[in-house]
Amino acid sequence: MARDYDVVILGGGTGGYVAAIRASQLGLKTAIVEKNKLGGTCLHAGCIPTKALLRSAEVYVQSKKALDFGVEVNDVKVNFEQVQKRKSNVVEQLYKGVQHLMKKGEIDVYDGFGRIMGPSIFSPMPGTISVEMNDGTENEMLVPKNVIVATGSRPRHLDGLKVDGKKVFTSDEFLTIEQLPKSVIIIGGGVIGVEWASMLVDFDVDVTILELGDRLLPTEDDAISAEMLKSLKKRGVNVHLNVKLDPSAIDVQDNVSLQLDETEISAEALLLSVGRIANTKNIGLENTEIEVENGFISVNDNFQTKESHIYAIGDVIGGMQLAHVASHEGILAVEHIANRNSTPLHYANIARGVYSNPEVASVGLTEQQAKDNGYNVITKTFPFKAIGKAIVYGETEGFVKVIADENTNDLVGVHLIGPHATDLISEAALGLFLNASPWELGQMVHLHPSLSEIIGEAALAIEGKAIHF
């Protein structure tokens, strides 16, 4: 039997399930098709489990420093079984929340693999979704007026190197390890590689990062990359930049070994973090006019594909592959379907974060991008060591860098590295969203003592009026 819907969403990750909730709020009859678990990568293999592990690593590091704070904690050890258990509990709690929200919104959830069909007896237009049900029951046929493709992405592998989940891992398999290896080689020094490196070294694992480019975190400002390199090296991480590897020359035996110039590098495990591939295969795109460019589905500003009733959002369209971007794109796609006017998405105003120790967060252009875009760049940095609350916390590593245009006095970018950077960045993101100038950020009176004073001070520094540095 075919079932009619206003919207069917293919993929129940952060993008898909949030789109479903918004669709239900707008009174659209909505279904979501998920082959695995609602919540997708972010909830089950990305944002949430990695942050839960990072938090355990942070508590371990803090406990070792407890005596500095006058607290005697004896025999601090990592119980990795409990670390993993806590991570799973955090994920489970949030997973239940998402399931509850689907019920509350009266959203039909189909557990199975969905494919887009071409014109058929069900509809003269492509877009009927055939669902191969996980429980083996007969395929469901969903006939929607609109489709949102939100099938996400998966880890990229390297030709010639088999991911076996025993010695060679991607983030997906590494999340479920039962014991910490003594040593790990991480290929890729981007966001995911740096988060894992930071967590593992904090858990006393011997870590080596091999990065193809000439710096870590290549999408961040140069100053942030340099500070992260300094921090990781200080904590004992071996970082090799400009490394061109032949993956097929990596020897996987009891240990994983490779030759780097004259030196042999060896570790108990290898973690690949070399980017992500959009899930565009086997979902029936060939039955439509939908275009795929550089591996990602092409969309217009309203997230419509070449088939105007089929939208695509999230990691599958590329760009900023982040959970909050996917969910916001989902909301905007649904609002377009429902003929609602919504504020267009300006990607330049969206904050991004790295949840390492220290944290990194940024919004807007890097100094180099600002120069390349013709801004008359003025930058100021302000260190956490001059912020009272950072000293109180004992967390004085890092700084904020504010970038402005000297001609217009516009705020162009804000880059943070240091304690609670991923929470502090929202003020800067709001500043960019509201087109604020550094002067306006500096005039706002910041709570004292608070870490947020660093944004006000750096903004004032642009005009040479910083107080505490």
Query: Can you give the binding site for ligand FAD, defined by CB under 6 A?
Result: 10-16, 33-36, 40-42, 45-47, 50, 113-114, 150-153, 171, 192, 279, 283, 314-316, 321-324, 326, 355
Write the Ramachandran bin of 387: left for phi over 0, alpha for psi from -120 to 50, otherwise beta.
Answer: beta
In the complex, what is the shortest distance from the CB of residue 117 to ligand FAD, in angstroms, rounded to a whole number?
13
Instruction: Mark out the alpha helices in 105-241 (DSSP H runs).
Output: 171-174, 191-202, 222-234
In the complex, what is the shortest distance from the CB of residue 69 to ligand FAD, in angstroms, rounded to a whole number?
28
**Nearest to ligand FAD of 96, 465 (CB atom):** 96
d(CA 391, CA 322): 32
Q: Which residues of 42-55 are buried (b: 16+ CB within 10 A; e: fewer)?
A: bbbbbbbbbbbbbb
- Cβ(269)–Cβ(167) below 8 Å: yes
**Nearest to ligand FAD of 36, 266 (CB atom):** 36
In the complex, what is the shortest distance from the CB of residue 112 to ligand FAD, in angstroms, rounded to a whole number?
7
Long-range contacts of 245-248 (CB under 8 A, 24+ apart): 245/158, 245/187, 245/210, 245/212, 246/160, 247/158, 247/159, 247/160, 247/161, 248/159, 248/160, 248/161
Residue with tokens 């997906």: 172
In the complex, what is the shortest distance from the CB of residue 90 to ligand FAD, in angstroms, rounded to a whole number?
13
**Nearest to ligand FAD of 174, 399 (CB atom):** 174
**Nearest to ligand FAD of 46, 456 (CB atom):** 46
In the complex, what is the shortest distance from the CB of residue 404 to ligand FAD, in angstroms, rounded to a whole number?
26
Tell the burial category of 406 from Cβ atoms under 10 Å away from its Cβ (0-12, 13-18, 19+): exposed
**Nearest to ligand FAD of 305, 321 (CB atom):** 321
Give the residue numbers marked as catalytic: 448
Strands 30-34 and 108-116, sheet pairing? parallel
